[in-house]
Structure 1
């Protein structure tokens, strides 16, 4: 049976392409099927979504995300593959991309500041690697963390970070703040000189702070810390990857009383 909506989209891609070009500078790029799937699942406002092969994208939705297939069918417009490739900086293997409205900063700050919290806030102190930041946001969403805060110059909404986070920025609060602007709560900062995490129970209202991949905690964050915490590590091993450290810490929190909703 013919799908009139699909026919209209396939025959007239100029509308969504024009909308894309008009909105691109101020919107969040959802790069690939999984980023769009998660954004829709967690309530993102998506004004335009395109696919090089709409049928393949909806078949993927039927297989992997039937809960959002209907919503994706209403959103996706098929465009020629060359048009799709020209609109995105790095074409995704799924041939899907979309633009979403970034959640309001005021709303995110209110979520981060609200107490009592039922899950920690992850703080990345002056992170450097965009992919690592995205992986951390994906982890935080999976564990049901209240949010992820970055300090320093890295933009946590950079397209590479959103790609690494698979669109799960919309499942948790994500903001960039200074150390002085951090939300309330006891700061448990990861540091090799800290107390073994296995001897501690991390409270739900904690700020779990992780230093940069290169230089560790900044002096400002170290001064703000209430507790220094160390992950178990074999002697002569220098460090863990940032995302691995966050995963271990969030797992310890969840295993000692905290849990995803």
Structure 2
């Protein structure tokens, strides 16, 4: 029997380090207790999970995530702390790490393109900051958005983005696309010169686009936008953080849904 990468399925008695080394180059790194918790909650396939302190990790599950505690019992394998530190670029305070199978691109594109749509898609146009991208994915998952699309070179599944998203990539669709291939729906782009967002109700099938932290919207995306919108801001304040802008916009959308 073969696993998702075409290799053998790993059983509970397999050496977790052997499994880790076999999958590390292709799997999604789940860095920390909360990333693993969310991934498990939202159905991620997790072939291997390790910790430097199994008792402490299970105590956290008892306290913060009793709904997935049994899965943690099955998944978590204890390894020496010095070994754990060799597996992750930045050791997490919870000393938990896991590898998950990345959803197929075909499945992600199907989810993004499905209509009719009852929640927006968030587009990050050529984002630069990995942590900001992760925070946006966490926000989108919290609001139940259909997905998050990035344009440009940033990989939305980069380990730093997944860490910033606390494993909530598995709670929404996350993919990188060209501007020409964005999901269907009316495209609302945030821009300082746009109309005040408070004067408009955002439809459930909206595509909400946000420019990069440094240069704003690309010429290509601006040209495709159906509407330019601005967030209320005090004069002489330059801008909001990207994740803050997304949070404000999704909140405005959600209030219109009641």
TM-score band by shorter chain is: over 0.9
Normalised to the residue count of structure 1, the TM-score between the two structures is 0.93
Q: How does 1:116-195 map to 2 (within 5 A)?
A: 116-195=116-195
State how far apart, in whole Å, the 1-side matches of 2:257 and 2:61 are.
35
Residue number in structure 2 paired with 1:3:
none
| Gap regions ≥5 residues in structure 2 | 1-11
Normalised to the residue count of structure 2, the TM-score between the two structures is 0.94
2:247 is equivalent to residue 241 of structure 1: no
| Gap regions ≥5 residues in structure 1 | 1-8
Q: Which consecutive segments of 4 or more residues in structure 1 shift more than 2 A? A: none
2:258 is equivalent to residue 254 of structure 1: no
Residue number in structure 1 paired with 2:53:
53
Q: What is the alpha-carbon root mean square deviation over aligned residues?
A: 1.0
Could you report, residue by residue, the CA deviation over 1:210-259 in whole angstroms, capped at 9, with x for unpaired residues?
A: 0000000000000110000000000000000000000000000001116x
State how far apart, in whole Å, the 2-side matches of 1:88 and 1:232 are.
41
Q: How does 1:57-72 map to 2 (within 5 A)?
A: 57-72=57-72
State how far apart, in whole Å, the 2-side matches of 1:17 and 1:64 are.
27
State how far apart, in whole Å, the 1-side matches of 2:177 and 2:50 are.
33
Q: Secondary structure at the match of 1:215?
A: coil
Q: Secondary structure at the match of 2:25?
A: helix
Residue number in structure 2 paired with 1:216:
216
- Structure with greater helix share of residues: 1
Q: Secondary structure at the match of 2:49?
A: strand
Could you report, residue by residue, the CA deviation over 1:132-177 in whole angstroms, capped at 9, with x for unpaired residues?
A: 0000000000000000000000000000000000000000000000
- Once the two structures are TM-superposed, the CA of residue 122 in structure 1 deviates from its matched residue by 0.1
